[in-house]
Structures are given as C-alpha cells and as structure tokens.
C-alpha cells in the first residue's frame, strides 16, 4: 500500500521542463499599464510564447494548469523556405488560449499565472478575432 502512495505522488509531480526548453531563455513580463482599463473588454485570448526549444509541441492545455481555458492551439510559423512549422526561426513556439471567463481581472490572473511557469517566455492579451465564415 505504501508503494502505491509513493507512485501516485510521483506521478502528480511537475515535469522536468529543462529537457524540452532552454530555461535560461530570459522571461519577458507583460506591462499591464500598456492597456487602458476600458480596453480589456476587447480581449478574450492570451498569446503565449514558449522558451526556446529543439523539440516539437510538448505542451498541452493541462500543462498550463489554468481552469479558465476554453481552447488552446499552437500558431504555425512561416519558415525560411516558405513552408509552415510549429517552431519559429528563433526556436520558440507560440500558442493562443481562449478564456472561458473574461474581463480585466480574469485576463491579468491568467497572465500572471502563466508568467510563473518556467517554460513560458511571455504571455500577453490578444484581441478577440471574429471567426471567418
């Protein structure tokens, strides 16, 4: 019985992100004063830039540990040869999350949480984008 408890606790531990990301890649902290309070109603998404990596798409929404995520998707980058890939030329990947609940406090809460994750380079609000028909 003690063995199963130890295994369960180990399985719940955080992943060693140093195998997938350059954790020394300097973080960029978003300046919330760059947006007026009245402008927050225009945002329902957060743009995330991950730290440099040599691996392909290692993160999914569960790794973000946010309960307010409606959707999560990587953004494709245009590569030097004109093709598309999941990693930009700088070795960083970007993703966008859409939040279930929005407003200034929810946006700031999510950004501050994401900035604490060691594999995140930056997080910032992204404008609502109407879906094309």
If one compares 127 and 69, the residue with the highest pLDDT of the two is 69
Count the neighbouring beta carbons within 10 Å of the beta carbon of residue 84. 8
Q: Which structure tokens are listed for 14? A: 């955080």
- Architecture of domain 18-127 in this structure: 2-Layer Sandwich (3.30)
Paired tokens of 87? 């990693």
Structural element, H or E, at residue 115: helix 104-116
Q: How confident is the model at residue 11 (pLDDT cuts 50, 70, 90)?
A: very low
74 Cβ contact partners less than 8 Å away, ≥ 6 residues apart: 57, 86, 93, 94, 95
Residue 24 reports pLDDT greater than 90: yes
pLDDT of residue 28: 93
Q: 52-109 pLDDT, tens per residue?
A: 887 776 788 899 999 999 999 988 877 777 777 777 767 788 899 999 998 889 999 9
Mean pLDDT of the chain: 80
Whether the pLDDT of residue 128 is over 50: the answer is yes
pLDDT at res. 116: 96
- Max mean pLDDT among 26-35, 108-117, 123-132 falls in 108-117
* Percent of the chain with pLDDT strictly greater than 70: 80
């Amino acid at each position: 019985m003690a063995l199963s408890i130890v295994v369960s606790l180990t399985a719940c531990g955080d992943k060693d992100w140093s195998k997938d990301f350059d954790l020394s890649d300097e973080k960029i902290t978003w300046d919330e004063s760059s947006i007026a309070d009245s402008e927050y109603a225009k945002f329902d998404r957060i743009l995330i830039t991950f730290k440099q990596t040599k691996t392909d798409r290692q993160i999914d929404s569960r790794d973000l540990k946010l309960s307010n995520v409606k959707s999560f998707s990587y953004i494709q980058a245009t590569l030097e040869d004109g093709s598309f890939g999941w990693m930009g030329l700088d070795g960083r990947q970007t993703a966008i999350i859409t939040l279930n609940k929005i407003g200034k406090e929810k946006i700031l809460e999510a950004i501050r949480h994401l900035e604490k994750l060691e594999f995140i380079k930056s997080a910032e609000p992204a404008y609502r984008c109407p879906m094309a028909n």
